Amino acid sequence: MRVTELAAFLNATGLTASCEGPDAEVRKVAALEDAGPEDLSFVAARGITSGRGVKSAASSNAACLLVRQDYPNPANRSIIRVPDPRAAIALAIPLFHPRAEHKPGTHPSAVIGAGSVIDPTAQIGPLVSIGEGVQIGSHSSIGPGCSIADGVRIGAHCLLHSRVTLYEGVTLGDSVILHSGSVIGADGFGFVFTGGAYEKFPQIGRVEIGDRVEIGANSCVDRAALGMTSIGEGTKLDNMVHVGHNCRIGRHVVVAAQTGFSGGVVIEDYAVVGGQVGVGDKARIESRAVIGSGAGILTSKIVRAGQVVWGTPARPLKEYLEQLAVLSRLAKKRKTGS
């Protein structure tokens, strides 16, 4: 693909893209430091007019760079100016590195229960187990070894990688991606202490996952005890994330790896949750709040909309940093004896 053709494609997606320099041929995408004379790469830094970013870009062998509007180009190399190079490269990558070809049909080793309805454009891989009354939408792909229980609903254009498990009562919207080893709809951790022992509280609720949700490898989303565990449209969960029973996660939330939500947690739209965060029962994280990595949110705690918190127990970032500074000064005083 020529640079001018790529710029035209980006303009067609709604980005404002303008190209400069030679109309080079681009064949694939690579990191800035690894790019060769047929590669597309990008420079994402804001307000970049000097320093390491410019030097790295200047020394790159990339055929073309996606850059911000204020990026200098004294050598008149091949560039495409866009408002957000990272977003532009995400749109460009499928052009050069398309996903494996979708092959409709059902592998002969798959087992399909009675009453299941599978769209003829769907792809069912080897050793897949599908229960009774399952519905699978158009152009969805079910990878090798997946297990789909009775009554599950899977929308259109979904991708289940190998060995995904969906329990009964799970509904997936359209364009959902589930990575290998993820388990959706297992029982929540619900027990009642009676007669000197823990007895299981039956988990009879459901899980509903909205459109364009992506869930990472070995992550688990538990069914509700009663009612529903839900994940809203566009939300992204990293690897090894645990969502407990009756959690309600809103739209376009991002959650980094090894984070755990206890039962009944509410995460509102556009919140950002760092890695290794622990959230106690029935806590609420309001819209656009940011939870720093490793933070601990106490049971029933409310993190207000737009607030940035850090530490355990989590507190506003400014307060957290002030306390770190005080501890640092105390440690220095102890060493000097003053």
Closest CA to 91 of 174, 9, 33, 2: 9
Q: CB count, 10 Å around CB of 104? A: 14
DSSP label of 114: T
Distance, CA of 311 to CA of 174 (rounded, Å): 37
Distance, CA of 101 to CA of 90 (rounded, Å): 19
Cβ atoms of residues 245 and 227 within 8 Å: no
Q: State the DSSP string of 38-63.
A: TEEEE---TT-SSSHHHHHHHH---S
3 is written with which tokens? 């640079």
Residues with a catalytic annotation lie at 245
Strands 135-136 and 117-118: parallel
- 318 Cβ neighbours under 8 A, 6+ residues apart: none
Phi-psi region of 117 (alpha: psi -120 to 50; beta: other; left: phi over 0): beta
